[in-house]
Amino acid sequence: MTLKTYLPILDWGRRYNRQTLTSDLIAAVIVTIMLIPQSLAYALLAGLPPEVGLYASVLPLVAYAIFGTSSALAVGPVAVVSLMTAAAVGRIAAEGTADYASAAIVLAALSGIFLMAMGLFRLGFVANFLSHPVISGFITASGLIIATSQLGGILGIKTEGHAMPELLHSIVAHIGDINWYTLAVGLVSLGLLLWIRYDLKNWLARFGVPKGVAAIIVRAGPVLVVFLTMAWSALFDLKGKGVSLVGEVPQGLPLLSLPSFNLDTIQALAVPAIIISIVGFVESISVAQTLAARRRERIKPDQELIGLGASNMAAALGGGYPVTGGFARSVVNFDAGAATPAAGAFTAVGIAGATLLLTPFLAVLPKATLAATIVVAVLTLVDFSILKRAWTYSKADFVAVAFTLVGTLIFGVETGIALGVGASILIFLYRSSRPHAAIVGQVPGTEHFRNIKRHKVDTVPGVLSIRIDESLYFANARYLEDLVTDQVTRNPGLTDVVLMCSAVNAIDMSALESLEAIRHHLDDMGVRLHLSEVKGPVMDRLAGTEFIEALKGRVHLSQHQAMQAISGRSGEDEQAVPLPSTVAG
């Protein structure tokens, strides 16, 4: 039972049959074709040799197949995590050095350990603090940064930095170094890739190619562009004309090796590893949940953490760099019919084969082709519509999006996301510290009580019913005190105040002190304090406190019962004492 929880393969493996095998194999072929150029390109984006992208697309996929719960998630190098890797590793090592590559391996190992620990301790909820606006702003900004950084590759000039100001500055500074052959390769690749993505399908349809075949050709398009530009490069000696090529790469797959940890590297990479882990997890879980919902499947967030943790540990062992579940690739995997996580393992076999076959030819591949591949891939990440939607829905969400977007563009990925999370938490705290409150009255003909400002309601003279729309806690405790005191001094004829607690989900000790102060204050003024609709968990705590013991009024099950009880009693009082309004008058 427990073993099956931690090793989902034991579950779906038992039900594996010829039909699922066929589905998985077809999906694996399509994803492999898509993954080859992407993994080369993303490694380059991460500042690593392109073959590292292939290494990161073998073992991690096998690990996810064993530990993961999503049947459609395609794990491997992705754009945003590659950018974050470059930003993190670039701070402690120079690109192209052995230190750089081994730091990337350590980063993958740390990320794997962290994800695994989060999964084992069931800390997946931490990822919830990356709100939707923050993620959207972050992904759009990352897309823009990545596209800009690849401009250099297409123009054949060097770019520096992982945030907009440095990138733009380095492009402007080196604009004179444009290599026109590189630019030609870059623009042709870009044009072809865009044409393949947006027009090829319709074009093939016109020639009567069946839809299924057309879809596969479209997926294979980027690989064809890679082969085309390799041929161009070899035939016309682009290297001699100053075009930057991938160059010699070691043949085959690297041997398994343990990452070489040292304390300085770990200290420098711990925080980036945590951020990369959380961002990667959120990206991965979002697509996994979306795809699972379409098939009425459930994925288990805590087990997904373990699956992604295992993938990153595998990436470290196999000479790769941090990986996660990619959005576009997973959708392709899903559409191609991947039935179980085994599809990922078959993809790994495909990539391993491709690595053995391709490496001899990679030497002549122009880097501009890979830059174009990245630009086309990240175009889908950039989505400004979130700004407009957030603006329309809520200014607070807009501030969170804008803050993250601008922060990431200017200060880079880590600071940007920290600013976004910080801003969204502060906004939440600020809003809950100034809660909405309403004076309520009875909706005629019902037992329902609503805001007197929004609904036609009946009120009882001498009784003030306040509905406070927030849990009561330290940040708003004093606010409540002020509100009640203010209302009571404004209504001198009062005999009873009812706090309708239907929206009060918790009362902490600071708020309890405030309630005591309110009670004291009302006692002094001869006004009874009542509570109504106090929720079970809140009442459990309040029961037995001095506040409740000394309450002159009562705790009523519903606001309606509170009003009935008070009106009834007021009626009796009228015989004995003057009317409340007379007392005050």
Q: Report 378-397 residues binding its own copies (CB under 8 A).
A: 389-390, 393-394, 396-397
545 makes contact with its own copies (CB under 8 A): yes
What amino acid occupies position 157? Answer: I
As measured in angstroms, the least distance from the Cβ of 391 to its own copies is: 11
Residue count of the chain? 585
As measured in angstroms, the least distance from the Cβ of 390 to its own copies is: 6
121 makes contact with its own copies (CB under 8 A): no
As measured in angstroms, the least distance from the Cβ of 518 to its own copies is: 10
Give Cα 447 distance to the centre of its chain. 43
Can you list the alpha helix ranges (DSSP code H) found in 321-412? 327-335, 342-362, 367-379, 385-393, 395-411
561 makes contact with its own copies (CB under 8 A): yes
Contacts of 300 (CB under 8 A, 6+ apart): 5, 69
Candidates 433, 459, 487, 570: give the one binding its own copies (CB under 8 A).
433
570 makes contact with its own copies (CB under 8 A): no
Mask 252-291, x = binds its own copies (CB under 8 A)? ----------------------------------------
**Distance between CA atoms of 254 and 55, rounded to whole angstroms?**
8
Pick the stretch among 85-93, 162-170, 343-351, 421-429 that binds its own copies (CB under 8 A).
421-429
Among 42, 72, 70, smallest CA distance to 57 is for 42
Residues near its own copies (CB under 8 A), total: 72
Closest CB to its own copies among residues 14, 296: 296
Closest CB to its own copies among residues 350, 416: 416
Closest CB to its own copies among residues 478, 554: 478
Contacts of its own copies in 463-482 (CB under 8 A): 469-471, 473-479
**Distance between CA atoms of 45 and 56, rounded to whole angstroms?**
14
Closest CB to its own copies among residues 309, 435: 435
DSSP for 442-485, please give it. EPTTSS-EEETTTS--B--TTEEEEEEES-B-HHHHHHHHHHHH
558 makes contact with its own copies (CB under 8 A): yes
Tokens of 422: 């910080």
As measured in angstroms, the least distance from the Cβ of 579 to its own copies is: 23
As measured in angstroms, the least distance from the Cβ of 505 to its own copies is: 4
Contacts of 166 (CB under 8 A, 6+ apart): 160
Candidates 1, 456, 524, 576: give the one binding its own copies (CB under 8 A).
524
554 makes contact with its own copies (CB under 8 A): no
567 makes contact with its own copies (CB under 8 A): no
DSSP lists the bridge partners of residue 164 as none
Contacts of 342 (CB under 8 A, 6+ apart): 12, 16, 20, 21, 24, 65
414 makes contact with its own copies (CB under 8 A): no
517 makes contact with its own copies (CB under 8 A): yes
Candidates 240, 536, 571, 585: give the one binding its own copies (CB under 8 A).
536
As measured in angstroms, the least distance from the Cβ of 99 to its own copies is: 35
Q: Are 423 and 395 in contact (CB under 8 A)?
A: no
Contacts of its own copies in 294-353 (CB under 8 A): 296, 298, 301
As measured in angstroms, the least distance from the Cβ of 100 to its own copies is: 35
523 makes contact with its own copies (CB under 8 A): no
**Distance between CA atoms of 314 and 312, rounded to whole angstroms?**
5
Q: What angle do CA 425, 426, 427 make, to 5 degrees?
A: 90
The kind and range of the H/E element at 188 are helix 180-198
